[in-house]
Structure 1
């Protein structure tokens, strides 16, 4: 299972640029059509030189490489340089070399005017006698390893590290971690091969190149991790023996590059290179157990069918027919799952790209607080969408396994109105759709229902209605009370729209998981196909019914009827979490055990705002030692992550509970975990933990839990 999760995460990471590429394809006309101002010397140079020669490392995928079909140089640098040369009116002759070192030597010997990619550094300029142009793209480096290596980047690290010969990494990393042993290899692929064969402990290589090679057969056991503080600028390197006017010309061409062109070149060439490498061999290497299983099943079927045929021809025909039917069902199920994975990868890429892109944009506008705040708001929305997407998948799993718990609470219907309105009205405004929420026919204000799940049902139906209603259309939500006898009540929810409607052929599939009407996809945004399945299961779990009516081109109407308990006399609606709680925590000490620096920073900041004194450790063993080193009852509570290095959170909690000191048995231990299924909560309780807080941490949630124990 862990292997599959890693595989899916790799797939998502490899495809993460698709949406960003689509968003950036439109280049502003003003940038593309601007007139280039040249000096007389530059004009004279262009009149005398119509062509430049460029040495490239043909092994540097996806920056410069040879197309296997045409033999032509392709890649990120080719796309960018073609744009620059077109701006200058030059033609480019590419000189492919086998290694980066050979490409550098080619320019040094005068066999090419310039080299395609050189890190903007005085070291590179001096060592290889180059004139460097202005940078045109930023590259990141990563570490490729088989396992997680401790203290890989510290000055006293002692590992065998592979680096590419002639690259700036040789100088930079030797200076950064001088005690590591750096071994130079001709190409990036050779560096990664050295990790695979065990000749080195790690390879420091360009991140996008590593992403490509780790997608190839034979590297499934390798992992990569970005080197956080490394981001270098890539330039063109002109031989020192050539006229510096060429440098000036290329700088002007680079300055005319629109950022969308650079982004398109980067993500487009990365994905093209990866797609060209996808074949049956890759599939088998990535899924060895599944491949063995499939072939094993096929062999078993052949043997079984052969034996049955020899014994009884008629029985063989019956069995074949039955097996054929089962295979059809299995193929349909597999097709639905494959389709679901494609949609999930797309939907997850969308917010991931938004977050990455907006983070980059915000970093460029650090002095403009208004713009940064706008970007942060958009990043928060993208993060919330990603969480809701993951929640949909978890909800589906819980509902199908019967583990979904309906939690009844006293709810005022006005609260549901306000919450739903806050979520849907901005969506409707963006789509230019008229939106109406009418709950005036609710005569009894309070009911005992699962507020969160009812809101989830309403939001799901309304978001679908808004999505599939064209601009100028109308979406309505009508909530009414049918009856209430003081003990039981029956309410009706109607969600209707005058949108595109649903074809009758799709009616039987409308509540099936992963199903969506294909005709919709070309014109309207698609989701995972889980929304209506979850709605139906939630409604039935709340003892309700759901029906629908739709006509193609006319719209759709969903009708839900729910039965619930009336709120008893004297009962009140729980008040929302208010301010002022933090004052009650003043002077309290809390031990936070969290290994992820960003998560820890967020948690410490939230807890400090509650006036809590926080001490932070990074693994379960340190938490146990820290607890033992303090006097009894020094800490008022412990926040413990579950997935920790050295000693995990569950083991640490059990060890604290087993201590002979009295506060070890009584101190509140609260789990921090992304796994919030019933069995996960039970596992935490069995380890001696008092409560759980789900990740990502929400301030109101952690405040409420701490208030119970402090």
Structure 2
């Protein structure tokens, strides 16, 4: 490029300073720069920048070429002006014109704020309106505008698309809501059906419970009614006989006869109470069967000894079936007390409901034998009045008696067979009853046993081991009931013993502790007493540091008459158990037996 630099002003005075340089730009172009200066009072620097004309033309051409052949979408127009002169546009007809001569550009330029969208007409008389804006750089103005109709040209299409989209969205949401509603409705229907089924089951259960409650209430009412009758009947007899004796004290024969009748009535009342209590314990699962080695042969002899005497008194013959099996394993583990009760109940029923001159036969068979198990069966048949087929279905129900007069004629409570069945089932056995009216009944009892080793038999009761009485014994009696204490003291004193009475367990411990060893030969201890019960008192006496505290016989006297009650007493350290009401002969025998080895 030829140099166009030249000095354009020389200061009139002062030393001239000149400067000139050619700058090479990164794009390959060159720029010439010159400056001259003179130093005076204030200091002046004069310089100029020279732009060649061909460069200006080339630059304007390059801007125009940017927009040549370019057209905006939707009829938009772009205009670039250098100052007021339009140097480039995608509309070639505008190049070279003055921007101020074009109304729309003039309108856009006069907007109060730059970069804001202007809404104007191209000419005041024009109906067409435009949207436009202007952007300003250092040397140029850039305008952009397009007709109003182009801005909204896609509005119907967009509206249509939006409407279709809305319809699709609405349909989708509606379908989703319908599906959710359908599912909710199905869930509600299912829940309602389940609730209805549950409600039906609950109502059925409630109906069953109400029916059971009604039956229980009816049974309770029947139970109370029967108990009231069965308890009041012997009590009425006892009270009436006492009044008769009081009115005729001089009639010794009448008094003695009435005394025997009162004894029978009291025994029946005691039997009734025992049956009720035992049935209650069976129903609540409180009865615990003992596991003792026992001899079935000996137990059978003991039962038959009692039964044969009762049968003989009623004119009934006892027989043993010759086809019976031998007792292969007589020694088994079991509860002798409850086994004895089972057979006594069954034989007693066979006697009570038999005919005069009738008979009772027993067939014994061995059903099965395993390694350590043996199963025996007893078939007991009587020739009594028998039972109807309808009653056999209820024979094990509490208080079940086919004849309404059975209580009066046979003195039965209707609980015996209920107790028998409960005890047999606790032994994992079964009982079956067959009967025919006016022919007789058959009771089939099957019980499994665990085989036991033969134990040392107990010493037989001989005259040498019979009770020698309690003559001369010193007894300590702990009894909280004054009447019971008075009765026991009189009976024991009449038997030859001296009796010291206390009213609770604490007094019994203190009385024993404060007296010298050997003062008392035995202690009769009630179990249920205030302040301190008999079991606790027994434990404290056994814990005293005296030699006689461990050896003195302590005998329980309690209204708790069951085997588990006796077991608790023995575990507490007592030597024997006497059930109330006390039978003086039995009391004397037990005291005599317990003191036999401690008498001096």
State TM-score, norm by structure 2.
Answer: 0.55
How big is each residue's C-alpha offset from its partner over 1:468-503, in whole Å with a ceiling of 9 and x where there is no partner? Answer: 56xx66643212333599996845332333415223
Q: RMSD between aligned alpha carbons?
A: 4.2
Give 1:190-339 correspondences, 5 Å limit: 312-339=195-222
Give 1:371-520 correspondences, 5 Å limit: 371-400=254-283, 401=285, 403-406=287-290, 409-410=294-295, 411=298, 413-426=300-313, 429=314, 435-439=316-320, 441=322, 447-448=330-331, 452-465=337-350, 467-468=352-353, 475-482=358-365, 490=376, 492-499=378-385, 501-504=387-390, 506-517=391-402
Once the two structures are TM-superposed, the CA of residue 591 in structure 1 deviates from its matched residue by 0.9
Once the two structures are TM-superposed, the CA of residue 438 in structure 1 deviates from its matched residue by 0.9
Once the two structures are TM-superposed, the CA of residue 530 in structure 1 deviates from its matched residue by 1.8
Per the alignment, residue 61 of structure 2 pairs with none
- Give the Cα–Cα distance (whole angstroms) in 1 for the partners of residues 537 and 432 of structure 2: 50
How big is each residue's C-alpha offset from its partner over 1:481-526, in whole Å with a ceiling of 9 and x where there is no partner? Answer: 335999968453323334152233x433322334444777799668
Per the alignment, residue 346 of structure 1 pairs with 229
Per the alignment, residue 50 of structure 1 pairs with none
How big is each residue's C-alpha offset from its partner over 1:142-189, in whole Å with a ceiling of 9 and x where there is no partner? Answer: xxxxxxxxxxxxxxxxxxxxxxxxxxxxxxxxxxxxxxxxxxxxxxxx
Match of 1:547 among 423, 432, 443: 432
Once the two structures are TM-superposed, the CA of residue 644 in structure 1 deviates from its matched residue by 3.2
Q: Which has the larger radius of gyration?
A: 2
- Give the Cα–Cα distance (whole angstroms) in 2 for the partners of residues 487 and 704 of structure 1: 36
Once the two structures are TM-superposed, the CA of residue 383 in structure 1 deviates from its matched residue by 1.9
Q: 1:674 to 1:665 in 2, by over 3 A?
A: same
How big is each residue's C-alpha offset from its partner over 1:415-453, in whole Å with a ceiling of 9 and x where there is no partner? Answer: 422301333454xx4xxxx62211263675894476554
How big is each residue's C-alpha offset from its partner over 1:647-669, in whole Å with a ceiling of 9 and x where there is no partner? Answer: 54345445545656554455433
Q: 1:366 to 1:408 in 2, by over 3 A?
A: farther
Once the two structures are TM-superposed, the CA of residue 366 in structure 1 deviates from its matched residue by 3.5
Q: 1:474 to 1:690 in 2, by over 3 A?
A: closer
Once the two structures are TM-superposed, the CA of residue 704 in structure 1 deviates from its matched residue by 3.2
- Give the Cα–Cα distance (whole angstroms) in 2 for the partners of residues 586 and 335 of structure 1: 54
Comparing both chains, which one has the higher relative contact order based on Cα–Cα distances under 8 Å and sequence gaps of 6 or more? 1
- Give the Cα–Cα distance (whole angstroms) in 1 for the partners of residues 404 and 563 of structure 2: 39
How big is each residue's C-alpha offset from its partner over 1:601-629, in whole Å with a ceiling of 9 and x where there is no partner? Answer: 44335545665433223344443443344
User: Retained in 1: the 8 A contact 2:505–2:536?
Assistant: yes
User: Retained in 1: the 8 A contact 2:467–2:592?
Assistant: no
Once the two structures are TM-superposed, the CA of residue 701 in structure 1 deviates from its matched residue by 5.4
Q: How many correspondences in the alignment?
A: 394
Once the two structures are TM-superposed, the CA of residue 590 in structure 1 deviates from its matched residue by 1.9
- Give the Cα–Cα distance (whole angstroms) in 2 for the partners of residues 444 and 605 of structure 1: 51
User: Retained in 2: the 8 A contact 1:674–1:694?
Assistant: yes
Once the two structures are TM-superposed, the CA of residue 635 in structure 1 deviates from its matched residue by 1.9
SS in 2 for 1:511: coil
How big is each residue's C-alpha offset from its partner over 1:290-313, in whole Å with a ceiling of 9 and x where there is no partner? Answer: xxxxxxxxxxxxxxxxxx999944
SS in 2 for 1:480: strand
SS in 2 for 1:340: helix
Per the alignment, residue 558 of structure 2 pairs with 673
- Give the Cα–Cα distance (whole angstroms) in 2 for the partners of residues 492 and 513 of structure 1: 24
User: Retained in 1: the 8 A contact 2:424–2:430?
Assistant: yes
How big is each residue's C-alpha offset from its partner over 1:386-442, in whole Å with a ceiling of 9 and x where there is no partner? Answer: 22212212322343416242455331634422301333454xx4xxxx622112636
SS in 2 for 1:509: coil
User: Retained in 1: the 8 A contact 2:469–2:588?
Assistant: no
Once the two structures are TM-superposed, the CA of residue 630 in structure 1 deviates from its matched residue by 1.8
Give 1:146-161 correspondences, 5 Å limit: none
Which structure has the highest helix share of the two?
A: 1
